[in-house]
Structure 1
Amino acid sequence: MATIKHLSSKNSNYAAAESYLTFQHNEYTGLPILDEKGRPKLRDSYLLDTLECGESSFAMACLIANRKYGKNGGREDVKTHHYIISFDPKDAVENDLTMERAQALGLQFCKENFPGHPAIVCTHPDGHNSAGNIHVHIVIGSLRVRTVERQPFMDKPCDWEAGKKHRCTSAMLRHLRVAVMEMCEQADLNQINLLEAQGDHVSEREYWAQRRGQRRLDHANAKLAAEGQQPTQTVYQTELDKLRKQIYAVLNKTTTFEEFSALLMQEHGIAVKESRGRLSYCPPGRTKFITAKKLSKKLEKEQVLTALSQNIQLATAIQPASEQKPDKIRKLVDIQANVAAGKGIGYERWAKKFNLKRWSQTLCLLQEKKLLSEDALHQRIAELQTQHDDALAVVKDLDARMVSLKELRGHLVVYRQYKPLAQKLQTVRNPAKFKEQHRAELAVYEAACAYFKANGLRTLPDLKKLDAEYQTLSSEKNGFYTRYKKAQIELRELRTAQQNVEAFFRKEERSHAVPQQEVK
């Protein structure tokens, strides 16, 4: 699933771009990493080429263009644009993606979409998160050095004339996303629909805030571990991430929008408002609302209402779980070990009462289940383990089939929606112009066709049948999941009871062993 990201820079030091791509830098401070002699350390592996620079370096080509056209002299002028194309880590294994192949794709992408701009194309084998994703950096000078042939995605003369600056508009970004999707389709690489938001939206600023916060937390936890203390938190959460999880928690247990908004305010102090068909959220301590688009695709109005309607359907299954539950069986406390570790007399008195209650609960459970012998208890635990594993395997299998059906349904909807456009393309007078006007829609349509071909689907299924099959699988999954949870709860109780029985008899053995040693 290749993605594309854009960054702009006002740094007048054009050589810094090439330095960043070729030398190692601290990912938190941005400063170069030096060796023992104080010189910058080269990256372990990279491929680098330049375009539209002639015999000059990238920095010199940009400076010559600035002087020739008298531009980029102000501090607030954008000097360079930085595009990053990140490929799916699985492409290296499944689709034979190498650095050389990625570099060739990046060069071709740069020639087609940024003609006339001095450019650096550099491929790295891995990213900041060490996920193993090959990615291509394309850094272009903001000023075009020559007039180029007008392309369909160019709207104004400044998009192809020499001496004009590159415009990274929303239309341009949309065109580039479609171009990345087409590139991956032609190269048989994994790809998602970049025109539609996927899951949580994490901005560049939030990403680095999380990385820096996790780094500080790791240092603090290392100090606690050195002092023999147990860390209370191991994963750092940004404020936006906390907000998402709080909203998700409330969304999963409400059935109406009124209940959803009221419970958000009651439990977390989060206000919700709807404006022009869009939802916004305001956590406590803020006065400005945050749009759902900046948080997650799942928190937009349509997805929220869909989740609430699904909760209504599951309300009958959730309702019995809200009934009063008996106290859980808990493990006995090792009083002697804790007293030896320094616990006082008050703790010993409390622990004796605690163990007495838990032992009575254990005996009641074993009598209720008619498991008063060790063999019967072991046999029942083995039976429950088998039921637990079998039900879990079925749940995972059904879940995988549901995911496959959902993916098929998505492609089928797109195919039927844009099939008339594809048919109209065959009859219009100017196919090239029509194709450029509907480039994004046709790209998604062709991706759906490629999916059908890859899965050997010559006859497309009916949507109603797919929905009915999905509902059947969902009900089957809920049934097996109930069996799985029931077996899991009983298995956990019986294992705890088994440990309590073993701990009780070990205590009895120790109490009988002490007088014998005194007689000797």
Structure 2
Amino acid sequence: MKDRFDYGQNPEKTKGGELIAAYLCDPETADAEFLLSKAKYKAITGREQKKNADILCYQIRQSFLPGEITPEDANRIGYEMGMRWTKGKYAFFVATHIDRHHIHNHIYYNSTALDCTRKFRDFIGSARAVRHLSDRICLENGLSYIAHPKLHSKGKFKHYGEWQDDNRPPTFQERLKAQIDSCLAEKPQSMAAFLQAMVSAGYEVKHGRGGVISFRAEGQKRFTRLRSSTLGKGYGQEDIQAVVEGRAASSEGRGAPPRKVNLIIDIQSRMKAGKGPAYERWAKIFNLKQMAATLQYLQESGLLEYEQLEKRATGAADRFHVLSGQIKSIEGAMSVNAELKAAIMDYAKTRPAFKGYEAAKYSKKYLAEHEAEIALYRAAQATFRHVLSGAKLPKMDALKAEYQKLAAEKRAAYRDYRAVRKDMQEVVTAKANIDHLFGLTDTQKNKEQER
């Protein structure tokens, strides 16, 4: 912790220490204070910090768009972030660094609570929760934030190429396969006619040893051989010969998987942003592919009228939001259930101490000796009042059974959620492409599509 905290408080990065703010700890001695709280935690609870197997403290890094915020405001927002994330129950300090082009915060908070009776436990989705809170604070302060982070569906970061997905320029091999499909779709009468069609499309043809045919596109350094091992099943020289002679269907006619429907690119706006001629050529090809994929999706889905498409998109979005609300409701009930179970356990453990406090006629000496237990007892009672609002306290077995039932409902809802989300993404994207094609997109619709 000392090494990490020293790095965070580096005077060269924090304007001589001016950009450091703390909550209920001294940054210069925070490492010792955090360790002391863990010794108190052991004394109060009887549980010991496991060496090399437990968390001493947590760190949040929060960055801002270059030139958009002052160091002082960044430090203020970092302090607000720390306070709202820890809810004032954990000591923390914020160090704002200005040594990089982007101003950023290092927020360090103790894993042991201020009352030394419990610890912060990382939970599934905590990174997403941190991001959502930071985004909300940035929105409240009129700052930029990343609306669509580069994440896998499983929550792991993608590398740039994966993030681009179908929006990336196709490889030379992908372009070659698409052109082969296009030329074969014209049903050439001979292999020579097929090769001539490829030449007309801008490909250079070479006949190698053993009669192996290779192609090279403009800007490509090496030829690509017409082999299944290189291009995949159906794109070997013998496969293409069979299609030309009518002995086999082309890859387009063999039930190849449909292309993924992505949003069409606004070429003009991208050109204004400084993209070159090569990008313009790729973008036109990309748009043609996406319109073909959109048409295929609409035909397969039976959405041949715009009103049908609009109704389907609205319905899919409504189903998605209903399921999202259902899942949030279940998660809220699970959270209340877990809070009640924890309060019941705390109440049972600390009730003897409080009864002793009453028997001692609320003695200050007794309170000093059992302050942690009594505080925990009162906190449990406060939870009962807040959650139950006068209703009868449920049995622990009933709460456990309810939690299992809620967990099962959540799993079932998530299965439907994933399917509904996929359907919504496809139909909304297809509608956006049709709107773009027919000039139906205005500024408000653009905002809705982005959302």
TM-score of the pair, normalised by structure 2: 0.42
Please, what TM-score do these two structures have when normalized by structure 1? 0.37
